[in-house]
Amino acid sequence: MQFRAHSSLVENLTGVPRTLLIPLVARANGGTTFPLLEPNDRYAQELLTAMGAEVKTSGHDAPTFVNVLWRTVLIKELGSDFFSRAPQSPGINLGAGLAHYFQWLGNGKNTWIDVDLEQVIDLRKSFLPDSSSHCLNQAMDITQPGWWNRLPLHKRDHKRPVFVVCEGVLMYLEPCKVRSIIREFAENAPEGSELILDFVSPLAVGPTAVLRHNEETGAPFAWGVHNGLEIAHLHPRLELLSQHSVSEAYGLGASWADMYWGLLMGGPVYGLAHLRVTEP
Ligand SMILES: C[S@@+](CC[C@H](N)C(=O)[O-])C[C@H]1O[C@@H](n2cnc3c(N)ncnc32)[C@H](O)[C@@H]1O
């Protein structure tokens, strides 16, 4: 994918922050090619237009588009289910980029915080200003210990379970930092909180990765795990509720192939783990 924008805020993005453009383009345009995975994102296309973006995609981008659209649809479903059980609970998107889940998961009773690095929050604020006191942008580096206590959670929300999304972020970070982010969530989030995160197989990580991904942004994958159980084992308060594989998006044949792959390799090539905080 080639991307150019008239906004200097966008053109100055490099490395991992620049990767936010990939899911944005996928949510804006991917549904045309993959209508069954259309997320109906009200903001993505508007954002590209507002940035004066010129995007060139090719057939090589198709798997990336499927990854993003598949996880978006799944996170929407898991979020709707969570908020139907806990309508007043807050939601948080860690490393939100220019994603806007509150458009789908806001119910008039809950609040939402979109967290990202300062440079990205500046960009969000110029294109996606805080729409209300219910939906906030928060600049924060989640690799810095203590980030949970710096979240601007309302006092009344301190004991409510929280719905946390972290998609397309952790695979770019060093393994020790990823473990510390997950443990900080597990130690601090109230019982019943849920965390949705995506992960890649260790085979997709590092300079000798067998499964290579598009590194146009100059941001290679640094963290991978075999499956969601490995993530749940990082902390005794974490329980794995479900694990999903992107093969679900390709139909039954792919799911069968994925099952055999999983037996050999210990898990999917690209998956999503749904975890909950429970007292051991
Ligand atoms: C591939 S983008 C994903 C954006 C968004 N989650 C989505 O799916 O549209 C990765 C995002 O993680 C953010 N990020 C990377 N390291 C971070 C950190 N240490 N703290 C907060 N955000 C971070 C980047 O700035 C970028 O917006």
Closest-lying ligand 1 atom to the alpha carbon of residue 167: 6
Dihedral angle at the C-alpha atoms of 130, 56, 65, 106, nearest 10 degrees?
20
Q: How confident is the model at residue 8 (pLDDT cuts 50, 70, 90)?
A: confident
Ligand 1: distance of its center to the CA of 3 in Å? 18
Q: What is the pLDDT of residue 107?
A: 97
> Would you say the CB of residue 39 lies under 6 angstroms from ligand 1?
no
pLDDT exceeds cutoff 60 at 273? yes
Q: What is the pLDDT of residue 178?
A: 98
Pocket residue to mutate for ligand 1, from 21, 66, 117, 147, most atoms within 8 A of Cβ: 117
pLDDT exceeds cutoff 80 at 127? yes
pLDDT exceeds cutoff 70 at 131? no
Rounded distance, CA 21 to CA 98, Å? 8
Residue nearest (by alpha carbon) to ligand 1 atom 24? 17
Rounded distance, CA 21 to CA 19, Å? 5
> Would you say the CB of residue 169 lies under 6 angstroms from ligand 1?
yes
Q: What is the pLDDT of residue 261?
A: 86
Over the stretch 18-76, which tens digit does the pLDDT of each residue have? Answer: 899 999 999 999 888 999 999 999 999 999 999 888 888 888 889 999 999 999 999 99
Question: 162, 89 in Cβ contact below 8 A?
Answer: yes
Query: Over the chain, what HEC string results?
Result: CEEECCCHHHHCCCHHHHCCHHHHHHHHHHHHHCHHHCCCCCCHHHHHHHHCCEEECCHHHHHHHHHHHHHHHHHHHHHHHHHHHCCCCCEEEECCCCCCCHHHHCCCCCCEEEEECHHHHHHHHHHCCCCECCEEEEECCCCCCCHHHHCCCCHHHCCCCCEEEECCCHHHCCHHHHHHHHHHHHHHCCCCCEEEEEEECHHHCCCCCCCCCCCCCCCCCCCCCCCHHHHHCCCCCEEEEEEEEHHHHHCHHHHHHHHHHHHHHCCCCEEEEEEEECCC
Mean pLDDT of 98-107: 96
pLDDT exceeds cutoff 60 at 169? yes
Q: What is the pLDDT of residue 14?
A: 86
Rounded distance, CA 219 to CA 211, Å? 15
Over the stretch 70-97, which tens digit does the pLDDT of each residue have? Answer: 999 999 999 999 999 999 999 999 999 9
Rounded distance, CA 223 to CA 206, Å? 8
Q: What is the pLDDT of residue 252?
A: 85
Q: How confident is the model at residue 272 (pLDDT cuts 50, 70, 90)?
A: very high
**Strand pairing partners for 239?**
276
Residue ranges and CATH numbers for the domains of the chain are 2-277 (3.40.50.150)
Over the stretch 184-237, which tens digit does the pLDDT of each residue have? Answer: 999 999 999 999 999 999 999 976 665 666 555 668 899 999 999 999 999 999
Mean pLDDT of 111-128: 94
Mean pLDDT of 254-277: 91
Residue 187 Cα distances to 66, 146, 208, 216, angstroms: 33, 11, 34, 36
Q: What is the pLDDT of residue 133?
A: 80
Mean pLDDT of the chain: 92
Residue nearest (by alpha carbon) to ligand 1 atom 26? 17
Q: What is the pLDDT of residue 130?
A: 67
> Would you say the CB of residue 19 lies under 6 angstroms from ligand 1?
yes
| Phi, psi dihedrals of residue 12, rounded to the nearest 5° | -80, -10
Report which of residues 86 and 263 the model is more confident about: 86
Ligand 1: distance of its center to the CA of 108 in Å? 26
Does the global pTM surpass 0.85?
yes
Q: What is the pLDDT of residue 59?
A: 85
Closest-lying ligand 1 atom to the alpha carbon of residue 99: 9
Least confident of 94-98, 139-143, 184-188, 257-261: 257-261
Q: What is the pLDDT of residue 93?
A: 98
Opening angle at CA 201, ends 204 and 275, nearest 5? 140
Question: 213, 171 in Cβ contact below 8 A?
Answer: no
